Chains A and B, each alone.
Chain A
Amino acid sequence: MENKPKKPTPSIKQNLGRHQDAVARRSNFDEVAMGFGLEEAVTEAARCLGCKTKPCELACPVNVKIPEFVDLVHKEDLGAAASKIFETSLFPAICGRVCPQETYCEAACVLKDKFGPVSIGRLERFTADYARKGGLIKPPPCAPDTGKKVACVGSGPTSLAVAAELRKLGHAVTVFEALHEFGGVLCYGIPTFRLPREVVRFEVDMLRKMGVRFLKNVMVGKSITIEELKKDFDIIYIGSGAGLPTPMNAPGEDLVGVYSSNEFLTRVNLMEAYKFPVSDTPYYVGKRTVVVGGGNTAMDSARCAMRLGPENVTLLYRRTRAEMPARAEEVENAMEEGIKFEFLTAPVELEGDEKGRLKRVKCIRMALGEPDASGRRKPVPQKGSEFYIEADSLVVAIGSSPNPVIQQTTPGLAANKWGGIIIDEATAKTSLEGVYAGGDVVRGGATVLLAMKDGKAAARAIHEKLSAKGN
């Protein structure tokens, strides 16, 4: 590293990072993106022009100080680079992996059109991993105890963000999780080949070291209600996520072998069914798996299924590749892994055998018509285009809506017609005094980054409330 360039070298080709071989990774759950080494990171960081206007930072949902941390990577001062990221983002090892940077910071990079953007996401991940593995990350200092108590419902990204911010400000925080692992969708939803579990555990442990209390196996709404929590806590933040799967409402959806993506991913990821029978929770994919949907959850489902050893995995999406909500990188990864994509195709009926097991999927071809309310061209079924795909298992990954249990068990908590909790956008306050909400329980199925952003914003409002006179 002696001849480190001092001036920016933007015209060096963007480094997109190395990936595990596409064939090899089809039989393991190890991380696909392998991450930068130090030399690669420094070379990539050297491409940054350090724009004074900071378009990347402004485009970031949590406003990571991108030009500054990238400059520190360039100078090989990785401890300082990590500290710089931590000033605004507490979970860079997670965000560096799952944030769709191509639509935020990297989309705003001035190098994008000419040479390709700086690989900001990969640099963030590298910096966070380097600091973690080198023991450079210390729990941030917390202000003296304020005596105020906050309960976070759910332990997913939005609650973790709230917990971190409020604990730093000296408030006592307790996180309630219904399942047996902490991290919410980071554990049950996102596969280990995109987000290794040790990264999530490290972040939870860091919060523990800061004094955040974590309680598992407590399903708020059933084990204890919001009203009961209000007796023991000054503030309650609901971040219970989007836990209700959207069904296709196609005949045959009850057949054995038909899964919601929530069930399939929970079996594989949270329960580690991919290790069965070494692990105890089974899965079933059979020889042919079909996945329905075009979002990141559909990609995760298809790629998990592929790793469980069926002969083929086919993904059905009713629009074209251009309309897919999934990250482009994940679509490419899925294609590389041999998943077959059937665009402009929708299932209309699932047929089973005499034992009630899925046998084949009746599909219909679509064409794109006029734009619908979402602005996307509406898929229109093409009469007479029906055909069959043989399938032993099928995963429905067409969305999820907020888990309704808390709304149903909390009198006076206002929700919209999709079941989402209604909040004041500026303060994240719900219709109940002292109760706040954010993340997917408000938005419906969105992203980890937006959930974290909600958490940060809510924490500011909660802190203001707790610091106000008379409180």
Chain B
Amino acid sequence: MEHDIYSTEGLYKIVEKTDISATISKHVIYAPLIAAKAKAGHFVILRSRPGGERIPVTLVDWSPENGTVTVIIQAIGKSTSEMNALKAGDSFSDVAGPLGTPVEIKKYGTVLGVGGGVGIAELYPIARAFKQAGNEVVSILGARSKDLLILEAEMASLGRVLVTTDDGSAGKKGLVTDAMKELYAAGEKLDAIFTIGPIIMMKFVAEASRPHATPTFASLNPVMLDGTGMCGGCRVEIGGKPKFACVDGPMFDAHQTNFDALMKRTAAYREQEKESLEKYGKDHNCRIGLH
């Protein structure tokens, strides 16, 4: 089907929505201009409604034929909760993109993907692109518990999958880095590592691969505002130099990344985020995310 990329007809409509778990939903959104340009590693900025916050989310999938892009959103604050409350047939008010610099896909040999939590969704298209480029793909998927583990079957279709959970309800009890160490100990040849997940996890993935000098890349998720390189709020320190995650990233050399600085900067609005979510919870009699 031909799509008029300059038309606003039906733009940003949710053509399909699937709840993956209590807090994680998959949205397939009509956005033909973005679908036509998307590559692995690109992200979009979403707003659920006029006045809403701008939320960056890495693309999970896209279809130039259908004119759609797919994102997976975990409800952790007010804005993401509002997004997941949308239904098929509703529309986001804004989807901007594709943004960022796509991942350079090339033949490494064996590529290890390490995904944590909802980061697995963002890892999937990258792992798939590496598979299509002729790499062998091995994945380590980490989650708090079995019900928060997503896309295991999809990842398994690309190659071997190792699962770790905090409580042992799926795979091995432990951390993704435990599984990494086992791979290294078994003498597996790993030619590149791509990791997406909580900052603390990515930091330890980088530390685990550093002694082996395996090229390692992490997808960074700093506080972001415009996503166009204008505000500098998403600045991260790579090799001692400032980079903007929105235009230079979000994927960077993990061995050069200052994860500690990133952790501090992502905590900048924690109190305000809590305040906003609590107000939302009260207004909507809802307990999502209020642990």
Do chains A and B interact in one complex?
Answer: yes
A254 and B261 contact, CB distance less than 8 A: yes
Contact with B along A241-284 (1 / 0, CB 8 A): 00111010000011011011011001100111000110111111
Tell me whether B133 is interfacial, beta carbon within 8 Å: no
Q: Given known contacts A180-B47, A219-B97, A224-B37, is B228 in contact with A245 (CB within 8 Å)?
A: no
Query: Which residues in B have their C-beta under 8 angstroms from that of A260?
Result: 231-233
| Count of A-B contacts judged by CB separation below 8 Å | 127
Chain A interface mostly: loop
Q: Given known contacts A219-B97, A222-B97, A356-B265, is B232 in contact with A280 (CB within 8 Å)?
A: no
Tell me whether B142 is interfacial, beta carbon within 8 Å: no
B96 and A284 contact, CB distance less than 8 A: no
Smallest CB gap from A272: residue in B: B51
Contact of A282 among B51, B96, B237, B269 (CB under 8 A): B269
Q: Given known contacts A254-B237, A280-B78, is B231 in contact with A179 (CB within 8 Å)?
A: no
Shortest CB–CB separation between residue A273 and chain B, in angstroms?
9
Contact of B6 among A219, A232, A277 (CB under 8 A): A232
Contact of B235 among A254, A267, A271 (CB under 8 A): A254
B14-22, B207-215, B273-281 - the one binding chain A: B273-281
Tell me whether A415 is interfacial, beta carbon within 8 Å: no
Q: Given known contacts A243-B230, A245-B232, A262-B232, is B261 in contact with A280 (CB within 8 Å)?
A: no
Question: Which A209-244 residues have a C-beta within 8 angstroms of B?
Answer: 213, 215-219, 222-224, 232, 243-244
Contact of A280 among B6, B37, B52, B235 (CB under 8 A): B52
Shortest CB–CB separation between residue A253 and chain B, in angstroms?
8
B269 and A224 contact, CB distance less than 8 A: no
Query: Which residues in B have their C-beta under 8 angstroms from that of A272?
Result: 51
Shortest CB–CB separation between residue B34 and chain A, in angstroms?
7
Question: Which B223-242 residues have a C-beta within 8 angstroms of A?
Answer: 225-233, 235, 237, 242
Tell me whether A174 is interfacial, beta carbon within 8 Å: yes
Contact with A along B95-109 (1 / 0, CB 8 A): 111111000000000
Question: Which A92-117 residues have a C-beta within 8 angstroms of B?
Answer: none
Tell me whether B79 is interfacial, beta carbon within 8 Å: yes
A256 and B233 contact, CB distance less than 8 A: no
A263 and B268 contact, CB distance less than 8 A: no
A223 and B230 contact, CB distance less than 8 A: no
Q: Given known contacts A232-B6, A256-B265, A356-B261, is B225 in contact with A223 (CB within 8 Å)?
A: no
Query: Which residues in B have their C-beta under 8 angstroms from that of A276?
Result: 272, 276
Query: Which residues in B have their C-beta under 8 angstroms from that of A244?
Result: 229-230
A263 and B98 contact, CB distance less than 8 A: no
A263 and B231 contact, CB distance less than 8 A: yes
B231 and A262 contact, CB distance less than 8 A: yes
Query: Which residues in A have their C-beta under 8 angstroms from that of B34?
Result: 223
Tell me whether B94 is interfacial, beta carbon within 8 Å: yes
Query: Which residues in A have their C-beta under 8 angstroms from that of B200?
Result: none
Q: Given known contacts A223-B33, A223-B34, A280-B276, is B231 in contact with A245 (CB within 8 Å)?
A: yes
Contact of B225 among A213, A224, A266, A404 (CB under 8 A): A266
Bound-complex Cα distance A266 to B96 (A): 17
Bound-complex Cα distance A277 to B276 (A): 6
Tell me whether A446 is interfacial, beta carbon within 8 Å: no
Contact with B along A179-208 (1 / 0, CB 8 A): 110000000100000000000000000000
B268 and A284 contact, CB distance less than 8 A: yes
Query: Which residues in B have their C-beta under 8 angstroms from that of A222?
Result: 37, 97-100, 228, 247
Tell me whether A355 is interfacial, beta carbon within 8 Å: yes
Question: Which A346-375 residues have a C-beta within 8 angstroms of B?
Answer: 355-357
Tell me whether B53 is interfacial, beta carbon within 8 Å: yes
Smallest CB gap from A352: residue in B: B264
Tell me whether B54 is interfacial, beta carbon within 8 Å: yes
A256 and B267 contact, CB distance less than 8 A: yes
Tell me whether A178 is interfacial, beta carbon within 8 Å: yes
Tell me whether B183 is interfacial, beta carbon within 8 Å: no
Shortest CB–CB separation between residue B130 and chain A, in angstroms?
23
Shortest CB–CB separation between residue B96 and chain A, in angstroms?
4
Smallest CB gap from B36: residue in A: A224
Smallest CB gap from B101: residue in A: A222
Query: Which residues in B have their C-beta under 8 angstroms from that of A253?
Result: 242
Contact of B228 among A179, A224, A257 (CB under 8 A): A179
Contact with A along B1-42 (1 / 0, CB 8 A): 000011010000000000000000000000001100100000
Smallest CB gap from B260: residue in A: A356
Query: Which residues in A have their C-beta under 8 angstroms from that of B98?
Result: 222-223
Q: Given known contacts A174-B6, A223-B34, A263-B225, is B272 in contact with A284 (CB within 8 Å)?
A: yes
Query: Which residues in A have their C-beta under 8 angstroms from that of B235?
Result: 254
Tell me whether A403 is interfacial, beta carbon within 8 Å: yes
Bound-complex Cα distance A247 to B231 (A): 11
Bound-complex Cα distance A404 to B272 (A): 32
Query: Which residues in B have their C-beta under 8 angstroms from that of A219?
Result: 96-97, 99, 227-228
Tell me whether A405 is interfacial, beta carbon within 8 Å: yes
Bound-complex Cα distance A106 to B268 (A): 45
Smallest CB gap from B93: residue in A: A180
Q: Given known contacts A180-B93, A222-B98, A403-B229, is B276 in contact with A282 (CB within 8 Å)?
A: yes
B53 and A281 contact, CB distance less than 8 A: yes
Question: Which A401-425 residues have a C-beta within 8 angstroms of B?
Answer: 403-405
A217 and B96 contact, CB distance less than 8 A: yes
- Name 6 interchain pairs, CB-CB below 8 A, sorted by A: A178-B226, A245-B230, A263-B233, A271-B225, A272-B51, A276-B276
Chain A contacts to B: CB under 8 angstroms? 174, 178-180, 188, 213, 215-219, 222-224, 232, 243-245, 247, 253-254, 256-257, 259-260, 262-263, 266-267, 270-272, 276-277, 279-284, 355-357, 403-405
The 10 closest A-B pairs by CB, nearest first: A356-B264, A282-B272, A263-B231, A217-B96, A243-B230, A280-B53, A263-B233, A260-B232, A256-B268, A180-B94
* 8 extra A-B contacts, CB within 8 A, seeds A223-B97, A256-B265: A217-B97, A222-B37, A263-B233, A277-B272, A280-B51, A281-B53, A281-B54, A282-B276
